[in-house]
Each structure stands twice: as C-alpha cells, then as structure tokens.
C-alpha cells in the first residue's frame, strides 16, 4: 500500500512570493490533514478535510493560507504572500475515517528568505 505522497520535498522562496504544496493521501482515506511544523516545535494542525469538506480550519491563517480538496482525493495548500515566519515543514496526513489513525507523509520543507 502506497503511503501519503507530498511534493515538492523542498522549496525556497522569497518573502511576498506565493507557494503551493500538493498532497496525495492513501487511497480510500476520506480524512486529510495539513500540519505546520516549525523548527524545534511539534506539528500544529492547520486544516482538516472530510472528503471535500472542511472539518476544522480554526488554526489556519486565512489571510494568507488557503487549502482545497476539490474532488475529495488530493489536496493543495497555498501560501500567498509568504512571510519569513512561514518557514517550516508542512506535513500532510490522512486517515480512513474521522478519528482513525493518521498516516503522515514525508513533508515539504519551506524556506522563506
């Protein structure tokens, strides 16, 4: 069984630029999560989808971050415009049901200069 796929693995941009990350969850997993992991900290949930609907986006900075999962399968997280403090690893996870075990992808490391 293939795991959670994320791309790109690394991204370097300048502040005020835009960036997008892609996640393909494990096949059949209805629930998808995006986390932000700043260096030296644990992951922080940004947004949770159930199929193509948002379950929780209370910690998503909506003035610059957006995410979508239009067909209820893969998902894109976008930052526009990026700030220095957005430098982090962005992790995607999926689970078969809400409340099920979460499986994590390898993450995308973003550096904002």
Partner 1 sequence: AQSVTQPDIHITVSEGASLELRCNYSYGATPYLFWYVQSPGQGLQLLLKYFSGDTLVQGIKGFEAEFKRSQSSFNLRKPSVHWSDAAEYFCAVGHNNNDMRFGAGTRLTVKP
Using CB under 8 A as the criterion, which residues of the chain lie in contact with partner 1 when the complex forms? 3-4, 40-45, 48, 56, 91, 93, 95, 98-107
The order of strands in the sheet holding 19-24 is: 5-7, 19-24, 75-79, 65-68
Find the shortest distance in angstroms from Cβ 15 to partner 1.
25
Helix, strand, coil distribution of the chain in percent, nearest 5: 5, 50, 50
**Smallest gap from residue 60 Cβ to partner 1 (A):** 14
Q: What is the 3-state secondary structure (H, E, C) of 35-65?
A: EEECCCCCCEEEEEEECCEEEECCCCCCCCE
67 vs 89, which CB is nearer to partner 1? 89
* Shortest distance (Å) from residue 80 CB to partner 1: 25
* Closest CB to partner 1 among residues 67, 93: 93
Report in angstroms how near the CB of residue 69 gets to partner 1 at its nearest.
17
Asked if residues 110 and 11 have their Cβ atoms less than 8 Å apart, the reply is yes
Closest to partner 1 by CB, 22 vs 103, is 103
């Amino acid at each position: 069984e293939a795991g959670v796929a994320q791309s790109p693995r690394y991204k370097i941009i300048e502040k005020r630029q835009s960036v997008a990350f892609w996640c393909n969850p494990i096949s059949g997993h209805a629930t998808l999560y995006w986390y932000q992991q700043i260096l030296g900290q644990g992951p922080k949930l940004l947004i949770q989808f159930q199929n193509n609907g948002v379950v929780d986006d209370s910690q998503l900075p909506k003035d610059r971050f957006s995410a979508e999962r239009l067909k209820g399968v893969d998902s894109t997280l976008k930052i526009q415009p990026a700030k220095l403090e957005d430098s982090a690893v962005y992790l995607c996870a999926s689970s078969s049901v809400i409340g099920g075990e979460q499986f994590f992808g390898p993450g995308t490391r973003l550096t904002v200069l």
